Chain A
Amino acid sequence: MTDIPGAPRTAGMTGSSDPWTDRLSEYVDGDLDAPTRAALDAHLATCADCRATRDAIERVLARARHAPYREPTADLWTPIEAAIERTRVTPIEAPRRQRLITLSVSRLVAAAAAVAILAGGTAWMIASNRTPRTLAATPDSVQAPNVMVTPAALAVASYRDAAADLERLLEAGRSTLRPETMRVIEENLRTIDLAIAQADSALRRDPGSEYLNQYLATTMQRKLKLLRRAIDITAARS
């Protein structure tokens, strides 16, 4: 079996002794801080292997950007903007890192996912079809200096509200299902809850992770979907 470079368990094992190789994806993604980026720029000027790898990464990402894109079924931006306004907080002191005072791509995805959860069904589309760069190219107002937003938290709050509403509906229809069926549904809801908790815990440790933001949103969406399906069954039986 061949380990594929970049594996979390084998992070850093790219087969290359060049310590910069593992940072090239972050470089291409624009995730490096300024000093590291400058240092890597200097390294690229002298390292043909790293330049070739960087070029290959950019080609892969270019292909990824050509994946089919579907328009959202609802106007997502307006509620996102409103949600951002609601969570606007004035920092006590100037943040030390630019990341803290701008709406990062991953957080925008999470915000969009939060709204999508409420709208009922486009989070998956956002997470899977709309590339982060496309989102980053959306309204200029996203770049809001001195604004600290926490859309991941917003997504969780929105999800909890929606889940609580659906759980109440499911509870109301409990008597229409056999206890065994209800038990199975509840067990599966708990399975998804566990996945959500694990994703949330990971996100707390790594709040800048675009993957975890997206994953948390899609997992929450999955629970809402199961709740809706269970409610549909109780409605059909009543």
Chain B
Amino acid sequence: MRRPRHVLRSRSSLAALFVLFAPTAACAQGTDTTITVQPTARIQIQNFAGSVTVRAWDRNAVRVIASNTRREDVVIRGRDAALSITTVSRTGVPAPLAYEISVPAKAALDISGTYTDITIEGVQASVTASTVQGDVRLRGGDGVVSLKSVQGSVTVQNAMGRIEVNGVNKGLSLRNVSGDIAAETVNGSIVLDGVESSDVEAVTVNGRVTYEGTIRDRGRYRFGSHNGSIVISIPERANATIAAVSYQGAFSSRFALPAGVAVASGRHRANFAFGDGSARVEAESFQGDIILARPGDAVARPKE
């Protein structure tokens, strides 16, 4: 007995449709959802690989747009005060995923990834972001700001609070930042520009350290490099005790030291004071030079 032709046609058509559209459907899954949260909610985001871009907006809600396929689920848990966004793979190691997330400006962020680029713009709250292989870029941030990357660069702009930046294999750049600042890397330069702080520490092993910012009375500023130069801007009216140490480098100033400045020199160091000397500026380079400059002369700024 022959089967009805239309049934065969129907089955083959279904199979053809499956073959043709199944992969497309998986690729086109995507996520676009919006969840109401409190304006000061804590948002936790984990993305194993790919990118996370977070932008502040003026709504008390979080919008998550992700490029996931059917092989990955974007799991969003919580609402109101705390929200977590994670990627769960159905097939083992998650594929690279691009997240575009909008959050309230006052929402605190905790973002982590492994092979992930992280970009955050406009947030006015605490930010923690860490990745292994990827760049971290932050514009904004207020409160505790902690940024880490092993293989990527870290750049911060317009942040304030207690700022801690850690790199390993690339340089660090902090511009227009204020508060207590700690920056450390191994193989890269550190640029601190437009800093307003009483407490700065910037140390690298293989790279240059440049500082352009305030030297506040009773402040503490510490800069170190193994084989890079250290360039520090000293405002004209600064009250600072300078303690410069170098084993193989030289000490120099791009401006004439004011009359009356007594230099206490030793085998590898020079100490002297400007004004009442209440701030302490320590610069230490094993092989590099230590250079004092006036504001505007320390950091080479990128062209606008």
Interface string of B127-143 (1 = CB under 8 A from A): 00000110000000000
Pick the interface stretch among A3-11, A83-91, A99-107, A142-150. A3-11
**CB of B266 within 8 Å of the partner chain:** yes
Question: Are A60 and B273 in contact (CB-based, < 8 A)?
Answer: yes
Among B205-233, those with CB < 8 Å from A are: 205-206, 220, 222, 226-227
Among A160-213, those with CB < 8 Å from B are: 177-178, 180-181, 184-185, 187-188, 191-192, 195, 198-199, 202, 209, 211-212
A158 to chain B, nearest CB (A): 21
Residue of A nearest to B151 (CB): A184
**CB of B96 within 8 Å of the partner chain:** no
Partner of A9, one of B115, B151, B250, B256: B250
**CB of B278 within 8 Å of the partner chain:** yes
Interface string of B264-286 (1 = CB under 8 A from A): 11111111110001101010101
A202 proximity list for chain B (CB < 8 A): 247, 286
Question: Are A61 and B268 in contact (CB-based, < 8 A)?
Answer: no
Question: Are B169 and A184 in contact (CB-based, < 8 A)?
Answer: yes
B278 proximity list for chain A (CB < 8 A): 63
Among A1-30, those with CB < 8 Å from B are: 1-11, 14, 22, 24-26, 28-29
Contacts A64-B280, A188-B186, A222-B205 hold; do A211 and B268 have CB atoms under 8 A apart? yes
Residue of A nearest to B247 (CB): A202
A232 to chain B, nearest CB (A): 10
**CB of A215 within 8 Å of the partner chain:** yes
Question: Are A6 and B264 in contact (CB-based, < 8 A)?
Answer: yes
Interface string of A114-130 (1 = CB under 8 A from B): 00000000000000100
A217 to chain B, nearest CB (A): 13
Residue of A nearest to B255 (CB): A2
B31 to chain A, nearest CB (A): 25
Interface centre among B264, B268, B282, B286 (most CB of A within 10 A): B264
Residue of A nearest to B278 (CB): A63
**CB of B12 within 8 Å of the partner chain:** no
**CB of A43 within 8 Å of the partner chain:** no
A5 proximity list for chain B (CB < 8 A): 263, 265, 270
Question: Are B282 and A211 in contact (CB-based, < 8 A)?
Answer: no
Question: Are B273 and A1 in contact (CB-based, < 8 A)?
Answer: no
Question: Are B272 and A25 in contact (CB-based, < 8 A)?
Answer: no
A209 proximity list for chain B (CB < 8 A): 267-268
15 contacts between A and B (CB under 8 A): A2-B254, A4-B253, A5-B263, A5-B270, A9-B249, A24-B264, A28-B264, A57-B271, A60-B271, A185-B168, A195-B286, A198-B286, A222-B205, A229-B166, A237-B114
Q: Chain A: residues with CB nearer than 8 A to chain B? A: 1-11, 14, 22, 24-26, 28-29, 52-53, 56-57, 59-61, 63-64, 67-68, 128, 177-178, 180-181, 184-185, 187-188, 191-192, 195, 198-199, 202, 209, 211-212, 215, 219, 222, 226, 229-230, 233, 237
With A14-B265, A63-B241, A177-B132 given, name 20 new contacts (CB 8 A): A2-B254, A3-B250, A4-B251, A4-B252, A4-B265, A6-B263, A7-B252, A8-B268, A14-B263, A61-B271, A67-B220, A128-B282, A180-B133, A187-B187, A188-B187, A198-B226, A209-B268, A215-B284, A219-B226, A222-B186
